Chain A
Amino acid sequence: MLPYVNLIDALETAPADRPFITVWVDEDDHETITFGQFRRAAHAQAAAFAQRGILEKDRVVLIMPQGIAAMTAFAGAMMLGAVPAFLAYPNFKVEPAKYRSGLAGVTANLSAKAVVIDEGFPGELLECVSLTTETKLLRAASQIPSAGDLPNATPEMRPESLAFIQHSAGTTGLQKGVALTHAAVLRQLGYLGAALEIDSGSDRVYSWLPLYHDMGLIAAFMLPMVCQVPVVMQSPLDWVMQPEAMLQVVSEYKCTLAWMPNFAFQFVPRRTPQSRWGDYDLSSLRALINCSEPVRASSMREFQKAFGIREGVMQSSYAMAENVFAVTQSEMQRGPVTIWADPQQFRAAHRIATVAQSTNGAVSFTSSGRLLPNQRVRILSDSGGPLADAFVGEIAIQSDCLFEGYYNRRDLTQRAIVEGWYRTGDLGFMLNGELYVVGRKKDLLIIGGENIYPQDIEEIVSAHPAIHDGRVVAMGVYNPNLGTEEAVVVAEVEQEELLSDAVRLEQEIRTRVVAGLGIAVRTVFLKPPKWIVKSTAGKPARSSTREKLLREHPELHADAGEITSA
């Protein structure tokens, strides 16, 4: 176990001259801050917050570009005993009105005392930061000194005090603020640090992950801070424009650990000219962890072969914000287990009967590793009863890192935690002590590692005047070329004649979804009235509509499997 009472204790005891965060933009533009410098900047930030009336337990929403200033503000708020939450920085695609409603909802739900923005926050979006009389707008401005003293009377932070709140994406996800205590986060980091055999003297994390996502916040900020390990970061936007830079950074800084969603294992090699694959030396890596999308062995093999990664480095993990982060981790030096299963048994009986790889039609599954200490998993049948090993059902978890509830949302919490077990909505099975995640029971889409709620897309599409209100289904369809899901929308038009104008309507719908959520829809299918399959309650039935769409459009079907055939 880690010897700290709270997360800030760990930061306060880190060696002052050890590098902590390097923010890498390109070869001519990077900045490193040591633990000592970070600590001083966080103290100054805490003092500035205290001057502006921020107190213990106040919720503080941070909307700042990814970087050192955002991270010192987060730590500074925690030093006061306040409860910070990162929200995504507005991107230029999202319409001000949509941004406003998302932000207003989250600040109201958290009853936030302050919303902190940076100096460069887009002027046209400022009016969207709608604040109640209790919420202050603060600029994390350059006038905050880079060093300063903590206020004299900082509260005692007990293990059971709230440390911070993390959210999943989208309007629907913003209603679910996962509130975590110092103790829960420290336990998680203790287990994870031990499983990964972290050595603060030799390890270094590489990350391009967003800090408003659990994988970025926990693996690339809290873990380095508490285990006192340096981290080299790119912003997600910088990375997506130059994925090859990951190879440059890992080679140059000799990074040893990195986490990425499945699609990145294909995206990096495919967007790096093959002639340059050999230019990079990734031999420093000892764990490259596939996390937050279903794990696909083919994606990992592609990365491994392209860059000559040695055996045992490719790893996997099953993680979620509600459990702080990881539930499982594959074994170091060994990696995840890949098995092949009988296709009929899997599809008809939801049972895993292992077969030889060469068996005709065998389906392949790659594990997410073994349970970390004090994590328990149950696989549940449709009726909620526990299933034996090798049977596929909903994954439910119990652990001493589990959240206590969604902040201010007792209703959502009661639906999620049933008799002490958190129902993840993911489908999977246990076999020989390893957890395999097969897909999802909930209708969530996972695009590039981010959770997208179909309801958010459907609401936007429904609002289009040519679309029959409520007759829209959004779904994720796996694209093997990208290694991730893409959003597909099927919608009924008001009158059949409107279909003659389909190209224009589809484009308008695509534009509206981008403006609302910032995601590009792969395909919009416009259909005549009464096309979508309805449930007995008269609502669109997602799974039957999906099956009908895949039957009519076999070109989608080729890509749509949740699992890969051997």
Chain B
Amino acid sequence: MTPEAEQMAAHIRDLIRKPGISIDENTPLVSSGLIDSMSLVDLLLKLEDLTHKRIPAGKVQPKDMDSVAKMFATADRVGRPRK
């Protein structure tokens, strides 16, 4: 994992606060019930911070945020440089 992906995984562990669960780059988050859709906005804001990009939320679906790897791929796909 890149340092940014590591930071995102650590952020998710803090968010879900379920002991014994390990989060790697490909752990399903939304489709496994670890993250509910109301938490996705937190992850999107964190992703913007970590990638230094602006990510238009209207172009992002929950399935694009289902794992750490997918989040960074989404940022590459739809992210725009910060103004």
**Which A residues lie at the B interface, using CB under 8 A?**
25-26, 28-29, 91-93, 237-238, 240-243, 245, 263, 267, 271, 448, 482, 503, 507, 510-511, 513-515, 519-521
Q: Other than A271-B42, A520-B37, give 12 A-B pairs with Cβ distance below 8 A.
A: A25-B59, A26-B57, A92-B63, A240-B37, A243-B41, A448-B38, A503-B20, A507-B32, A510-B32, A510-B33, A514-B32, A520-B30
Q: Are A520 and B36 in contact (CB under 8 A)?
A: yes
Q: Are B21 and A26 in contact (CB under 8 A)?
A: no
Nearest CB of A to B59, in Å: 7
Chain A contact residues: helix, strand, loop or mixed: mixed
A92–B30 Cα distance when bound, in Å, is: 9
A245–B56 Cα distance when bound, in Å, is: 11
Q: Are B33 and A245 in contact (CB under 8 A)?
A: no
Chain A CB within 10 Å, residue with most, of B30, B34, B36, B66: B36
Q: Are B34 and A241 in contact (CB under 8 A)?
A: no
Chain B contact residues: helix, strand, loop or mixed: loop
Q: Are B21 and A503 in contact (CB under 8 A)?
A: yes
Flag whether B40 is at the interface (Cβ < 8 A): yes
Flag whether B44 is at the interface (Cβ < 8 A): yes
Give me the 6 closest cross-chain CB pairs, A-B, nearest first. Answer: A242-B57, A510-B33, A26-B58, A520-B36, A25-B58, A514-B33
Quick one: which of B19, B20, B35, B59 contacts A520, CB cutoff 8 A? Answer: B35
Nearest CB of B to A164, in Å: 27
Q: From residue 48 to 83 of chain B, which have CB atoms closer than 8 A to chain A?
A: 56-63, 66
A380–B1 Cα distance when bound, in Å, is: 60
Could you jot down 19 A-B contacts, CB within 8 Å? Answer: A92-B62, A93-B31, A237-B37, A238-B57, A240-B38, A241-B41, A241-B44, A241-B58, A241-B60, A243-B41, A448-B38, A503-B19, A507-B21, A510-B34, A511-B31, A514-B31, A514-B32, A515-B31, A519-B36
A45–B44 Cα distance when bound, in Å, is: 38
**A93 surroundings in chain B (CB, below 8 A):** 30-31, 62
Q: How many residues of B contact A (CB 8 A)?
A: 26
Q: Are A237 and B62 in contact (CB under 8 A)?
A: yes
Q: Are B63 and A511 in contact (CB under 8 A)?
A: no
A348–B34 Cα distance when bound, in Å, is: 39
Q: From residue 16 to 32 of chain B, which have CB atoms closer than 8 A to chain A?
A: 19-21, 28, 30-32
A263–B38 Cα distance when bound, in Å, is: 10
Nearest CB of B to A478, in Å: 15
**B20 surroundings in chain A (CB, below 8 A):** 503
Q: Are B31 and A242 in contact (CB under 8 A)?
A: no
Q: Are A26 and B32 in contact (CB under 8 A)?
A: no
A369–B31 Cα distance when bound, in Å, is: 39
**B58 surroundings in chain A (CB, below 8 A):** 25-26, 29, 238, 241-242, 245
A519–B36 Cα distance when bound, in Å, is: 7
Chain B CB within 10 Å, residue with most, of A29, A263, A520: A520
Chain A CB within 10 Å, residue with most, of B30, B44, B58: B58
**B32 surroundings in chain A (CB, below 8 A):** 507, 510-511, 514
A2–B60 Cα distance when bound, in Å, is: 41
Q: Are B61 and A237 in contact (CB under 8 A)?
A: yes
Query: Nearest chain-B residue to A503 (Cβ)?
Result: B20
A271–B37 Cα distance when bound, in Å, is: 13
Query: Nearest chain-B residue to A241 (Cβ)?
Result: B57
Nearest CB of A to B12, in Å: 13
